[in-house]
Chains A and B, each alone.
Chain A
């Protein structure tokens, strides 16, 4: 078999990633199974045996699922609106959806804090409208956390779906209609299956980003909602328990990897038909 010389073009990129990403990753995995007395699974045993840590893993998973689901619910129609919008409207919608990406996550999360504070804008507005009698606690609630997380990760859902939907032939729904398909049937049997590759890409992107979220949960919930990343940071920085932190990192990596690999396999199966 002849080698494609174009493959060599990937070498610098792959080499760079191997140096700065793969090597530290292997080091991390190594330190998760290396104790002072040699090889050990002690880190994993302590992690998975402790109900507190199991709770943290469950909480991270729940946060990632709700964020992904919420972003999908909001992002899917938005991607269609963006793809169908004409001229100036498309520019405006694009700006609305993607401009927030240029603002750092830290700034956005602080922003949510200011909006949701006891003396924040939202409480002030509701009080002045007479809808509530005294300030409602919003910050440090799970609702606030989900709102902030979806806000941060929504563009990562919209972009891949938009990229797929934009390429769909607008005459396909027309063809379906002339064959007697109701709008709902046409959506279920034509538009939805053809847009699934974008959904799969968006879901794996948002899930793997949100399951590892650190900044937004720390700023909007603090210690009340511990995610895996927050535990990891504590293990490395406060407890100096490298073994535990590395084990947590490995579990996190495995979860994100499972979703990404699963999504890729699903996409291949859908694309192969």
Chain B
């Protein structure tokens, strides 16, 4: 990639005997929004702190706009950070918080004032300029944190779980608002999150992290429709998945025997291999006589969840590697817990992974 803005190469970091980042590489284009998605302990926050300069890498390098910044201390990197819970300075007002970076960098007060006013206007906080930050709501604090980070014109903005302190409703609004605002500014942004929905909303590409490595880096649609591994499949979205054994293979397609029946899927595995087949919940329909090119299975419903725009059926499957969630736009009459249902889903949408 030519317009590569952030380049992390071979990053490794250990805390004692635990390897937190394991030879990780990541390239982000200028103006791109990338999420680091993973469960706690996967290394995503450590990677963010290493990029910001708050931690040093044990090995590897970090370059921004072609310049290696690995050896610079945090205050010389010009990498902005929006912290989880925002870390606003409690003894300063909104305007003083936003002006802090300018003052620290020796910008004269006369030159700083218009930039502070501009940043306040950008996040629609102008009328709160002289309030103490401790008197602000969560959403307002987040806006101040964003303005404080942006006003010094960083080359890169890192956001550490920026929405986790907000309640659900506000979180959804702020995700869209912040994405729009950052796009307007044109900055390159890296979000750290454990919330897959948030990652899907805010990012151009998502890096799913697992044990100090990037398991898959792709745009949200690819990640959802073509997960590279069972780990990614489970972390992003829900699915119906069934363990089985390959009974036949050829012509880019495998036939798998599962507990619910025979399933065909695009893929290449040797006969006899232990595999897991999976399908996204919305690809499944309830029909006994589907059009061609589909798999059909018979299952029993264990629970029904009404979610408004759609209804989820949880299938009664034995515990283990089998898991069953199916989604329907509308629940057909007469279906409830205990009902036997015929499932149909396109062969082309069926995924197959090596069994874990």
Complex contacts, A169 vs chain B, CB 8 Å: 87
Q: Does B242 contact A (CB under 8 A)?
A: no
Q: Does B5 contact A (CB under 8 A)?
A: no
Q: Mark A146-189, 1 if CB is under 8 A from B, else 0.
A: 00000000000000000000000101101111111111011001
| Pair B100/A182 contact, Cβ less than 8 Å | no
| Pair B104/A181 contact, Cβ less than 8 Å | yes
Q: Does A3 contact B (CB under 8 A)?
A: no
Q: Does A194 contact B (CB under 8 A)?
A: yes
B105, closest chain A residue (CB): A180
| Pair A180/B91 contact, Cβ less than 8 Å | no
Cα separation A176 to B83 with both chains bound (whole Å):
11
| Pair A193/B74 contact, Cβ less than 8 Å | no
| Pair A179/B87 contact, Cβ less than 8 Å | no
Q: Does B78 contact A (CB under 8 A)?
A: yes
**How many residues belonging to A are interface residues under a CB distance threshold of 8 Å?**
21
Complex contacts, B149 vs chain A, CB 8 Å: 178-179
Complex contacts, B87 vs chain A, CB 8 Å: 169, 171-172, 174-175
| Pair B100/A181 contact, Cβ less than 8 Å | yes
**How many residues belonging to B are interface residues under a CB distance threshold of 8 Å?**
28
Q: Mark A176-217, 1 if CB is under 8 A from B, else 0.
A: 111111110110011001100000000000000000000000
Contact of B104 among A172, A182, A270, A273 (CB under 8 A): A182
A190 to chain B, nearest CB (A): 6
Q: Mark B70-93, 1 if CB is under 8 A from A, else 0.
A: 000111111111010101111100
Q: Does B352 contact A (CB under 8 A)?
A: no
Complex contacts, A177 vs chain B, CB 8 Å: 53-54, 73-75
Cα separation A129 to B286 with both chains bound (whole Å):
94
| Pair A273/B54 contact, Cβ less than 8 Å | no
Cα separation A171 to B87 with both chains bound (whole Å):
6
Cα separation A194 to B74 with both chains bound (whole Å):
22
| Pair A176/B79 contact, Cβ less than 8 Å | no
Q: Does B214 contact A (CB under 8 A)?
A: no
| Pair B54/A180 contact, Cβ less than 8 Å | no
Cα separation A219 to B133 with both chains bound (whole Å):
52
Cα separation A175 to B149 with both chains bound (whole Å):
9
A194, closest chain B residue (CB): B91
Cα separation A21 to B77 with both chains bound (whole Å):
60
| Pair A180/B53 contact, Cβ less than 8 Å | no
Contact of B75 among A171, A182, A189 (CB under 8 A): A182
Which of B75, B78, B132 has the most chain A CB atoms inside 10 A of its CB? Answer: B75
| Pair A176/B132 contact, Cβ less than 8 Å | no
User: A174-B54, A174-B83 given as contacts; is B74 within 8 A of A273 (CB)?
Assistant: no
Q: Mark B222-236, 1 if CB is under 8 A from A, else 0.
A: 000000000000000
Cα separation A190 to B78 with both chains bound (whole Å):
19
| Pair B89/A180 contact, Cβ less than 8 Å | no
Q: Does B13 contact A (CB under 8 A)?
A: no
Q: Does B44 contact A (CB under 8 A)?
A: no
Which of A177, A182, A189 has the most chain B CB atoms inside 10 A of its CB? Answer: A177
Which of A171, A180, A189 has the most chain B CB atoms inside 10 A of its CB? Answer: A180
Complex contacts, B78 vs chain A, CB 8 Å: 180
| Pair A171/B83 contact, Cβ less than 8 Å | yes
Q: Does B52 contact A (CB under 8 A)?
A: yes
Q: Does B280 contact A (CB under 8 A)?
A: no
User: A171-B87, A190-B89, A193-B91 given as contacts; is B104 within 8 A of A178 (CB)?
Assistant: no
Contact of A181 among B77, B85, B90, B101 (CB under 8 A): B101
B79, closest chain A residue (CB): A178
Cα separation A212 to B340 with both chains bound (whole Å):
88
Complex contacts, A185 vs chain B, CB 8 Å: 104
B93, closest chain A residue (CB): A273
A271, closest chain B residue (CB): B91
Cα separation A169 to B89 with both chains bound (whole Å):
9
10 A-B residue pairs with Cβ-Cβ distance under 8 Å, sorted by A, are A174-B87, A176-B75, A178-B149, A179-B100, A180-B101, A180-B104, A180-B152, A183-B75, A189-B103, A193-B91
Interface residues, chain A, CB within 8 Å of chain B?
169, 171-172, 174-183, 185-186, 189-190, 193-194, 270, 273
The 10 closest A-B pairs by CB, nearest first: A179-B101, A181-B104, A177-B74, A171-B87, A175-B87, A178-B81, A180-B105, A177-B75, A180-B104, A185-B104
